[in-house]
Amino acid sequence: MEVGMYDLSQTDRTGSATAEGVSLAPSAHLRRRNLVQKIAVNIMRAGTVVTVVITAGIIFSLIPPTIQLLSEIGTQIFGTSWAPLFIPPEFGLLPLITGTFVIVLIAMMVAIPFGLAAALFLSDYASYQTRRFVKPILEILAGIPTVVLGLFGLYFVNPKLVEKYWPIGESVGYSALGAGLMTGILTLPIVASVADDALSSVPRAMREAGYALGATRREVATKVVFNAGISGVVAAVILAFARAFGETTVALMVAGSYPKLSGNPGDPMQTMASFIGFAGIGDQPTDSTGYRTIFLVGALLFLITLVFNLIGNRIILRYREVYE
């Protein structure tokens, strides 16, 4: 809706009727309306500016400390030991990166199969009634606060599952495996919902064509619908990935705060996000090395999730255009 396109008052030629006849100037009433509109629109524009300010705030808060720290420590970030709050500090990012990677990977191993299964179920197998029942289940799962999942991971998954059944290594009450499982459950609704969106919007004609050619429901679901909606599925995975990356509370409570460089999911590990949480509890004086380290890791986290979100959203935009 272009401003002014339908707005008759802008091209208004109807004046007001007076005793002398009709004048062509806009009446006071119309002038006031226009003014009100102008003011309102400007107030709304100001609101939009707020979002830009927030983004600018993110960038301006993250960049200066990061650059300052990088100029001081340079290539130390390629080291293998992360101990920025010790004296002498060590800034090797590798343990944080592997820790994040392990947990996100495990999370995806949980979220993707079950999330896609839920999505396929909803789009192709569920009747109207079943859908009414199942969608809320996913919403309820999405609504569980992360602290609660962390609590569950800490007091059930770690002691009663990981400690008892994970064969490799010695368990210390924290594990990346537990954190990964909980984060997977956290991101499952995202995969399910976005994928369901995509798969549901595949035109019925395609499904019917499949059925007409003798395919079973499974074959239509997996070979027709899934492939047609693949871009949406990919977007779902990418967005879930980004969410898992940024999860702080679960990782902090369940995976511990020891940045161990290890490939064993039974070990405690620290992710980028949980390091920020951990360091934030113990207050860091502004402009200390500790403070700048938080921002360095935060900048990295922000960048990675930004890239993933950009790609994911772009894919969604494109597939929606195709179908609309």
Partner 1 sequence: MDAPSCQHTALSGVSQVGSMKGYLMISMKKSVTVVLGIALATALLASPANANEVKNTAPCERRGEVAVAKGIEYKCSLFGKSLRWKKVGAAAAGAASTAGNNADYANVSGKISIDGSSTVAPLTGVAAEAFQKVSKTQITVGISGTGGGFSRFCKGETDISNASRPIKSTEAAECAKNGIKYTEMIVANDALTVVINKNNTWAACLTTAELKKIWNTGSTVTRWNQVRSTFPAAKMVLYGAGTDSGTFDYFTEAINGKAQVSRKDYNPTEDDNVTVNGVRRSAGATGYYGLSYYLENSDVNKAVQIDSGKGCVTPSAANVINGTYTPLGRPLFVYVKHESAKSNSAVIPFMTYYKENLAALAKKAQFVALSAEQQTKLNSELDAIKKLA
Partner 2 sequence: MSTLSLASKLSPIRKLKDGSFRLFLTFSIVATLSFILFVVYTLWNDSYFLMSSDLLTKFPSNDPDDVGFQSAIFGSIWVVGVASLLSLPIGILTALYLEEFAGKRNRLTSAIETNIQNLAGVPAVVFGMIGLAFVARGPLSWGFTVGSASVVLAMMILPVVIIVAREAIRAVPPSYRDGALALGATNWQAVYRLILPSSIPGIATGSILAVSRAMGESAPLLLLGALSFVTFNPTGLDSQFTIMPLAIFKYASDSRDEFHYIASAGSLILIVILFTLNLIAILLRDYANRKSRV
Question: What is the token pair recorded at 111?
Answer: 């979220």
Distance CA 42, CA 44 (A): 5
By CB under 8 A, residue 65 contacts partner 1: no
Judged by beta carbon distances under 5 to 8 A according to partner kind, the member of partner 2, partner 1, none in contact with residue 97 is: none
Question: What is the token pair recorded at 191?
Answer: 């995969």
Question: What is the token pair recorded at 44?
Answer: 């709304």
Report, in Å, the least distance between residue 186 CB and partner 1: 8
Report, in Å, the least distance between residue 9 CB and partner 1: 32
By CB under 8 A, residue 27 contacts partner 2: no
- Judged by CB under 8 A, the stretch of 64-72, 84-92, 106-114, 214-222 that binds partner 1 is 84-92
Give 51 or 75: the residue with its C-beta nearer to partner 2. Answer: 51
Binding mask of the shown chain, residues 21 to 50, with x at each position contacting partner 1 by CB under 8 A: ------------------------------
Burial zone of 215 (CB within 10 Å; 0-12 exposed, 13-18 middle, 19+ buried): middle
Q: Exactly one of 134, 172, 230, 261 binds partner 2 (CB under 8 A); which one? A: 134
Name the residue with tokens 């990919």: 234
Give 101 or 211: the residue with its C-beta nearer to partner 2. Answer: 211
- Judged by CB under 8 A, the stretch of 63-71, 107-115, 293-301, 315-323 that binds partner 1 is 315-323
Judged by beta carbon distances under 5 to 8 A according to partner kind, the member of partner 2, partner 1, none in contact with residue 229 is: none
Report, in Å, the least distance between residue 35 CB and partner 1: 34
Q: Exactly one of 16, 57, 72, 168 binds partner 2 (CB under 8 A); which one? A: 57
Q: How many CB atoms lie within 10 A of CB 195?
A: 29
Judged by CB under 8 A, the chain residues 158 through 217 that form the site for partner 2 are 185, 188, 211, 214-217
Binding mask of the shown chain, residues 216 to 255, with x at each position contacting partner 2 by CB under 8 A: xxxx-xx----------------x--xx-xxxxx---x--
Whether the CB-CB separation of 106 and 176 falls below 8 Å is answered with yes
Report, in Å, the least distance between residue 6 CB and partner 1: 24
Q: Exactly one of 25, 109, 140, 168 binds partner 2 (CB under 8 A); which one? A: 140
Judged by CB under 8 A, the chain residues 127 through 186 that form the site for partner 1 are 128, 131-133, 135-137, 139-140, 142-143, 146, 163, 170-174, 186
Q: Tell me, what amino acid is at 255?
A: A
By CB under 8 A, residue 324 contacts partner 1: yes
Residues that bind partner 1 (CB under 8 A): 81, 83, 85-87, 90, 128, 131-133, 135-137, 139-140, 142-143, 146, 163, 170-174, 186, 189-190, 193-194, 197-198, 200-201, 203-204, 235-236, 239, 242-243, 246, 256-258, 260, 268, 281-285, 288, 290, 305, 309, 312-313, 316, 320, 323-324
